Structure 1
Amino acid sequence: MARTQGSHSDITGPRVRASALRLFAQGGYAAVSMRAIAADVGVQAGALYNYTPDKQSLLFDLMQSHMTQLLDAAYDDVAGTPTERLERFVEFHIRFHHARPDAVFIAYMELRNLTAQNFARIEALRRRYEDRLEGILRDGVASGTFAISDTKIATLAIIAMLTGVNTWFRTDGRLSLDEVVAQYWDMVRKSVAMPSAGG
């Protein structure tokens, strides 16, 4: 089938992904058809297959792109004390995810719709990101800075708490993003801190 006039792979491909990202976040992966994505982009349904083999591949591509961008941005941060590194991680995570609400929603809520093979590949990327935080926590425990009995549980709890900002924060709300980052850092800091003598 011929492409719609004015449709070029370097333009339409990103538009297909952007449309799918928005529609999946709004209505859920299962409820969005390839035909709906095509209509949103402004091409014939058959033309979508010039850019993606199927809807599952499109979902995987969106999740993989999000996780790759996350890992690329979250460089290996080894400078400074564990407390300083943890503070930088908290700020990075909140700000990175705040700027990508649709991608974050899909990355967490649509995992169940991946095939087993695609799920394993995304989970491997997620573990690489989690390992960076757990490395910070382990270094903090080893140095006597943090009091954590299970660094894996602490890692998952901190990430869940930080990601939760996306579910309620609004730029026109009572708190600025800077204030939210500061308050969340205070909560994370207190949750891992070694108890003070006599406390």
Structure 2
Amino acid sequence: MRTERPTRLAILVGSTRRGRFASTVASWVAARAGERGDVQVDMIDLVEAGLPDVLPDDDWELPEEVLSLGPWLDTADAFLVITPEYNHSFPAPLKTAIDWFHAEWAAKPVAFVSYGGIGGGLRAVEQLRQVFAELHATTIRDVVSFHDYPDRFGPDGVPLDPRAGKALAAQLDQLSWWSDALRTHRDRVPYATGS
């Protein structure tokens, strides 16, 4: 899918757990997205972002880590969240990262690549849909998920099932379409969140 200008895609690596598998998934996603002519990839790793766990009240100044990450999110046209499923939900650092920002998410599409046990991280994704809806983001219906994920990737970090690449390509097509549509309209009419 071609648009007038490439979609600036921010891939958000949602796990900060030591020994995490998220890096493998994110590397594969970034490599596939980077092969496309309609996507410019920015990788945002929450380990490197170092966002504080404690959110301020309205009178506090924003921490430097938040001020540094904000422009990356603000200039993104679309987001792709890599999330594991921990205890039937998504990781706490991912929620903290989402909560630090508001307008940066609004009227932009969000896609998900999840992994986990037998559920493939889909329960985490369903909860994330509710969170992003509150922030006026548009979530992409199709999810790329990996159940029993350690068995789904080869030693080269590539999924063993070729259908995974096809599913990701279709998801990126949808993300690019939504990104172009929403960006075009945001350029014409500023989005009002009503809050």
- TM-score, with length taken from structure 1: 0.27
Structure in which a larger fraction of residues adopt helix: 1
Structure in which a larger fraction of residues adopt strand: 2
Larger radius of gyration: 1
- TM-score, with length taken from structure 2: 0.27
